[in-house]
Structure 1
Amino acid sequence: MLSSASLRAHLLAARLAGPVSTSREESLRRYRHFAARDPRVLLGLEPENDWSFLELLRLMGDKCGVSANPAHTSGPDVIDPERTINALDAFADRLRAVALARLPVLLGTGHPHRLLGFYASLASALSAAGCRVLTPGQGRCVDITTRFGVRMYQLVYVRGVAMVREPGARPSPSEPGAHSHSPLPVRVALSCAAASGGALPGLVIGDHGWVCGAGQLGFEAMGLGDTDDPALFVGEAEGRVSVAVPLDDAVRPGCYRPLTRYVLNRACLSQ
């Protein structure tokens, strides 16, 4: 079993924590946009409180370990690996509880080219434990606003994990789907599940709009967030996201494998 010390070393070596690839400039820009309630940064969350830029900076310092000093404006951002490990422990504990209760789960990602393997391993382990891995809305169209205008995507599932893909796109192992921050895919999936009269998820696992969109609708949701994703951590602070794990969400896919082993071992779901 991977120890906490070994995991910490891996987090730093892979730059999942410590100095990360996300720039301080980008994080601060997104905190300002969140404070202005820019929907592109809210990720489907409707904050209960009026979060100022400085309040967000303090929150992200507490949740992620970034500098809370507003005068620190450049260079790589930083994630405290101890906060990542503590959040992964809480994440694994919720997985174990859901597995023991055999609750239905929905998994989705806006980072399929990086995080598909992580979520697919969770889906496989939860399925083996008796949880139903839901796939509502397969093939449904979702119109998402991008910087290039409104574009149509399709909701698809790969190895039990939801994502969006441009119609007619030929997926590859390195690009199984499109990068997306939108909460619209999870809203479509949950709407289809409700309309069919089938099972609704007892837990939604993912990132970006998959977590915040589901949490805003009252579903338990948890997932991964980078230093420029304040919505997940605000959602956690306000009680609509059960666990937000701070880490860099855009490193090489293989770098997440030790995290998968750590989480599944702690959750007693190793196959």
Structure 2
Amino acid sequence: MVSVGALRAHLVAAGLAGRVSTSREKSLHSYRLFAARDPRQTLGLDPEGVWDADELLKLMADRCGVSPDPGQTSGQDVIDPDCTVAALDAFAERLGRAAQDRIPVLLGTGHPHRLLGFYASLAAALSAAGCVVLTPAYGGYVDMPTRFGVRRHNLWYVGGVAVVRPAPGAGGAAEAAEALGTGAHTHSPLPVRAALAAAAEHGGVLPRLVVGDHGFVCGAGQLGIEAIGLADSDDPAVFVAEAEGSVSVAVPLDDTVRSDYYRPLTRYVLNRAWLSQ
């Protein structure tokens, strides 16, 4: 069992919280893009509030622990590990209730290279507890904007977790290399929209909880489906969604560290949710 103290120490030592790899410049740029309603940063969310860059900085300081000083414009960002631990506790509590109620769940990630193992462990534990882990639109097509232009992707499920991969013949070697083995990195809400639309159109079961990151949680929350997930200090949309009530829990942490660094978080969450086997 991972204690709170051990988890907190690990978060800082692994760069998951404390001083993280995300630069202050990148975070502030993301806040400005969100304030301008750039879809690369809204992640499928249509916020209710105005949320200018100053308001976003205050929100991120409160939810993540980044510096509230607008004059600090360079260096590395900071995530308060106590904010991370508190959010992980809330995240685990919601998973525990989902397992107790045996509700249908959908899991998905736009960071498969880093976070697939974390979500796959949750999917396995929820399934063992009697939840139906949904896989709608398996193999279906999703046309998504990428840095290479609009490309057709397939929606796949790996260990019960939704990811996207470039469709055969839809892209070049760069995209294929990016998605090798697990899936492609994406912030888009289109994959979760495709999954939910397929379930609805074919009379399937809709999830009562979506677990994931980026567009998976913001896209689901915008459609009125409860969502919980992880978000970095340069992902303001997830925290705005939490503040406005369309996402139930947003866990602040660096989402780009080595995949094995998330294993203590997995153990902590499963223990707190009473899902350890």
| TM-score (norm: length of structure 1) | 0.98
- Corresponding residue number in structure 2 for 1:104: 104
Match of 2:191 among 185, 189, 207: 185
- Regions of 4+ moved over 3 Å: 168-175
Return the alpha-carbon distance in structure 1 between the equivalents of residues 75 and 164 of structure 2: 32
Report the Cα offset of residue 178 of structure 1. Answer: 0.2
C-alpha distance after superposition, 1:146-166 (max 9, x if no partner): 222111111000010001001
Instruction: Answer with 169-178 or 81-90: which moved more.
Output: 169-178
Look up the match of 2:232.
Answer: 226
Judge which range, 230-239 or 143-152, deviates more.
Answer: 143-152
2:268 is the alignment partner of 1:242 = no
Work out whether residues 45 and 237 of structure 2, in 8 Å CA contact, stay in contact via their aligned partners in 1. yes
Opposite residue 144 of structure 2, the aligned amino acid is I
Q: Deviations over 1:187-214 (max 9, x none)?
A: 0000001111111101000000000000
Change (3 A) 1:18 1:174: farther
Contact 1:113 1:174 in 2 (8 A): no
The gaps in structure 1 that reach 5 residues or longer are none
Match of 2:274 in 1: 268
- Alignment length (residue pairs): 271
Report the Cα distance in structure 1 between the residues aligned to 2:106 and 2:37, rounded to whole angstroms: 27
| Matched residue, 1:6 | 6
| Residue number in structure 1 paired with 2:171 | none
* Contact 2:242 2:250 (8 Å CA) reproduced: yes
- Counterpart for residue 36 of structure 1: 36
Q: Using the alignment, how far apart are the partners of 1:140 and 1:28 within structure 2?
A: 36
Q: Which residue of 2 aligns with 1:215?
A: 221
Is it true that 1:23 corresponds to 2:23 in the alignment? yes
> What are the superposed Cα offsets for residues 28-85 of structure 1, whole Å, 9 maximum, x if unpaired?
0000000011011000000000001100000000000000100000011000000000
Match of 2:259 among 248, 253, 262: 253
Amino acid of the structure 2 residue aligned with 1:257 = R
Contact 1:171–1:177 (Cα < 8 Å) also in 2: no
Structure 1 Cα separation of the partners of residues 224 and 54 of structure 2: 28
Contact 2:209-2:225 at 8 Å conserved across structures: yes
Structure 2 vs 1, CA of residues 172 and 67 (structure 1 numbering), >3 Å: closer, same or farther? closer
Does the 8 Å contact 1:79/1:247 carry over to 2? Answer: yes
Percent identical pairs in the alignment equals 69
Task: Give the conservation status (yes or no) of the 8 Å contact 1:112–1:175.
Answer: no
Alignment CA distance shift 1:255-1:74 (3 Å): same
2-structure distance, mates of 1:186, 1:4:
33
The letter of the residue matching 2:42 is L
RMSD: 1.4
Letter paired with 1:125: A
Partner SS state of residue 34, structure 1: helix
Change (3 A) 1:145 1:59: same
Q: Contact 2:230 / 2:250 at 8 angstroms: preserved in 1?
A: yes
Partners of 2:165 and 2:179 within 8 A in 1: no
Are residue 194 (structure 1) and residue 174 (structure 2) matched? no
Q: Give me the whole-angstrom Cα distance separating, in 1, the residues matched to 2:71 and 2:181.
A: 38
